């Protein structure tokens, strides 16, 4: 996909590709996101707008909503007033900033149903930054995160079909902060997996946790097609629970554009999430992701390269009581050719998040994050001087029903 990221002192468009996993629990009985599943398994309260129970699902029209706001301070005081390599919490100081507000309409399959998620805010443009449809259709699609119909293929509802636009199943984190453990998105999520896919998918559940899913889609983050390309990708996902450990594997192959030309080449992606609920007081996740694309052009006039991105992220969540929790995330991403971030670099970051549930519908989070790079990509107050590191502290309010 193409995403807008603050890099090197300006807001630029990056050609990257890159939601256990981010799987949307489709209308009426799809999988929980891994973050929600791990939280639920560890004894915490699962509260996310796009989660559903395992089959069977309740009947009738389900209506939900979600919104989030944040304030953040960057200790580098960047002259751009932007946080580098962020997707949703991009603004430094000022604020508070409004990120996203949306509604969900869902009719559980009985035997058919649908899901529709629409919203407004800065996040919608970033979510749909890779869209190739132009004009008024592009403006309309910016406000639609999901829109698909769903139908049971067997009487038990354990095999079903979805067709339309849906959150990608790739990755541990979701587009919505209400679905994640941290407020800011990880580098592995930002650079390593798509937000959404457009096409058709078939799920088959063997039990409440184990499933296989096959899909055909347009690829990374677009409803429209690509010039001189079939624009068709395929994917395979599966999850298996082994006691306290759940393993989820996502594989995806699709034609994708590079950063500096209209040419598209096949990109292969693999993403593995290991979700371990060690006790009611601890939940841990390890995610490994890799994508590769040959003949990739990073900048005009440069030679084409065989581009690879690899990332590893670890999470540990510790509920302190019924309303509070701590989450630590640490990760490293190698973007050796600069195909994902626009700069050849190795990145690493660590984030500590304190969460306090205010009531059934509201969560407050306080977060400290440190980012570092082998390249000088983080701007300071001096436009002529960039540094290797970035430290931020932020406060967020998340509302979800």
Contact 252, 230 (CB under 8 A): no
Q: Identify the pLDDT of residue 61.
A: 93
pLDDT value of position 34: 52
pLDDT digits (tens, 9 = 90+) for 250-283: 999 999 999 998 889 999 999 999 999 988 899 9
pLDDT at 175: 87
Separation between Cα atoms, residue 5 and residue 3, nearest integer Å: 6
Q: Can you read off the two tokens belonging to residue 51? A: 């989660």
Q: Is the pLDDT of residue 226 over 90?
A: no
> Where would I find the beta strands (DSSP E) of 76-232?
97-107, 112-120, 144-152, 159-167, 196-205, 211-217
Model confidence pLDDT, tens digit, residues 333-358: 999 999 999 999 999 999 999 999 99
> Is 70 exceeded by the pLDDT of residue 121?
yes
Q: What is the mean pLDDT of residues 296-305?
A: 93
Q: What are the two backbone dihedrals, phi and then psi, of residue 179, each rounded to the nearest 5 degrees?
A: -95, -5
d(CA 248, CA 237): 7
**Mean per-residue pLDDT for 369-383?**
97
Separation CA 375–CA 347 (nearest Å) = 9
Helix, strand, coil percent content, the chain, rounded in steps of 5: 5, 50, 40
Look at residue 37 in the predicted model and tell me its pLDDT: 53
How much is the average pLDDT of 226-255? Answer: 93
More confident residue, 37 or 361: 361
Task: Report DSSP letters for 19-45, one per residue.
Answer: ---S----TTT-PPPHHHHHHHHTTPP
Q: Is the link from the previous residue into 96 a cis peptide, with omega within 30 of 0?
A: yes
Q: Are 164 and 196 in contact (CB under 8 A)?
A: no
d(CA 276, CA 348): 23
Specify whether the CB–CB gap between 343 and 375 falls below 8 A. yes
Residue 1 confidence (pLDDT) above 90 = no
Altogether, the residues listed in the chain come to a count of: 401
pLDDT at site 27: 37
pLDDT for the residue 183: 97
Cβ atoms within 10 Å of 354's Cβ, excluding its own: 14
pLDDT at 118 over 70: yes
Q: What is the pLDDT of residue 21?
A: 39
Average pLDDT of every residue of the chain: 87
Convert the pLDDT of each residue in 40-96 to its tens digit. 444 444 433 333 334 455 568 999 999 999 999 999 999 999 999 998 899 998 889
Q: Does residue 310 register a pLDDT over 50?
A: yes
Q: Average pLDDT of 361-371?
A: 98
Structure tokens at 112: 């058919």
250, 287 Cβ separation under 8 angstroms: no
**What is the C-alpha separation between 185 and 118, in angstroms, rounded?**
20
User: What's the Cα-to-Cα distance from 184 to each of 112, 161, 251, 380, rounded to whole Å?
Assistant: 35, 32, 25, 21
Half-sphere exposure of 394 (CA within 13 A, CB side): 31
Q: Which SS3 state, helix, strand or coil, does residue 272 take?
A: strand
**pLDDT value at residue 7:** 39
Cβ neighbours, 10 Å, residue 291: 26
Distances from the Cα of 270 to the Cα of 8, 14, 310, 357, angstroms: 28, 20, 10, 34
The torsion angles phi and psi of 344, rounded to 5 degrees, stand at -70, 115
pLDDT of 201 over the 70 cut: yes
Are residues 198 and 165 in contact, defined by beta-carbon separation less than 8 angstroms? yes
> How high is the pLDDT of residue 227?
82
CA gap 327, 189 in Å, rounded? 17
- Residue 183: Cβ-neighbour burial (10 angstroms; 0-12, 13-18, 19+): buried
Predicted local confidence at residue 32, as pLDDT: 53
Please tell me the predicted confidence (pLDDT) of residue 283: 96
- For residue 33, the model assigns a pLDDT of 53
Using a pLDDT cut of 90, give the percent of the chain over it.
Answer: 76
* DSSP calls for 289-344: EEEEEEEE-SSTTSPPEEEEEEEEEEEEEEE-SSSEEEEEEEEEEEETTSTTTSS-
Per-residue confidence (pLDDT) for residue 196, from 0 to 100:
96
Q: 127: helix, coil or strand?
A: helix
Query: How far is Cα 81 from Cα 89, in angstroms, rounded to an integer?
Result: 12
* Structure confidence at residue 35 (pLDDT): 52
**Is residue 153's pLDDT more than 70?**
yes
CB 90 within 8 A of CB 12: no
pLDDT digits (tens, 9 = 90+) for 18-45: 223 344 433 344 555 555 555 444 444 4
* Ordered structural domains, the chain, with CATH: 2-400 (2.40.160.10)
């Amino acid at each position: 996909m193409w995403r807008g990221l603050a890099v090197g002192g300006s807001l630029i468009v990056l050609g990257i590709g890159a939601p256990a996993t981010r799987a949307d629990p489709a209308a009426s009985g799809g999988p929980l996101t891994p973050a929600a599943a791990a939280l639920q398994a560890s004894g915490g309260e699962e509260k996310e707008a796009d989660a559903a129970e395992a089959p069977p699902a309740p009947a009738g029209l389900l209506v939900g909503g979600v919104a989030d706001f944040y304030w953040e301070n960057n200790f580098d005081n960047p002259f751009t007033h932007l946080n580098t390599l962020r997707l949703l919490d991009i603004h430094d100081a000022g604020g508070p900033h409004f990120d996203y507000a949306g509604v969900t309409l869902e009719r559980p399959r009985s035997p058919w149903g649908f899901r529709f998620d629409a919203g407004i805010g800065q996040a919608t443009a970033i979510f749909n930054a890779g869209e190739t449809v132009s004009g008024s259709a592009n403006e309309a699609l910016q406000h639609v995160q999901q829109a698909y119909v769903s139908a049971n293929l067997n009487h038990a509802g354990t095999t079903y079909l979805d067709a339309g636009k849906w959150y990608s199943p790739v990755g541990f984190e979701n587009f919505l902060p209400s679905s994640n453990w941290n407020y800011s998105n990880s580098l592995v999520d930002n650079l390593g997996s798509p937000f959404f896919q457009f096409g058709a998918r078939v799920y088959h559940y063997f039990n409440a946790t184990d499933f296989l899913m096959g899909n055909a889609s347009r690829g990374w983050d677009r409803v429209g097609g690509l010039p001189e390309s079939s624009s068709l990708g395929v994917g395979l996902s599966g999850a298996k629970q082994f006691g306290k450990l759940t393993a989820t594997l996502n594989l995806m192959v699709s034609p994708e554009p590079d950063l500096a030309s209209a040419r598209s080449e096949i990109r292969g992606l693999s993403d593995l999430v290991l979700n371990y609920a060690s006790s009611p007081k601890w939940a841990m996740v390890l995610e490994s992701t890799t994508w590769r694309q040959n003949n990739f052009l990073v900048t005009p006039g440069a030679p084409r390269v065989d581009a690879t991105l690899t990332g590893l992220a670890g999470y540990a969540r510790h509920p302190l009581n019924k309303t509070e929790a701590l989450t630590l995330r640490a990760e490293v991403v190698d973007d050796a050719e600069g195909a994902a971030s626009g700069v050849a670099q190795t990145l690493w970051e660590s984030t500590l998040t304190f969460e306090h549930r205010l009531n059934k519908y509201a969560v407050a989070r306080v977060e400290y994050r440190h980012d570092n790079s082998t390249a000088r990509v983080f701007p300071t107050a001096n436009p002529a001087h960039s540094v290797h590191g970035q430290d931020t502290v932020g406060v967020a309010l998340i509302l979800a029903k």
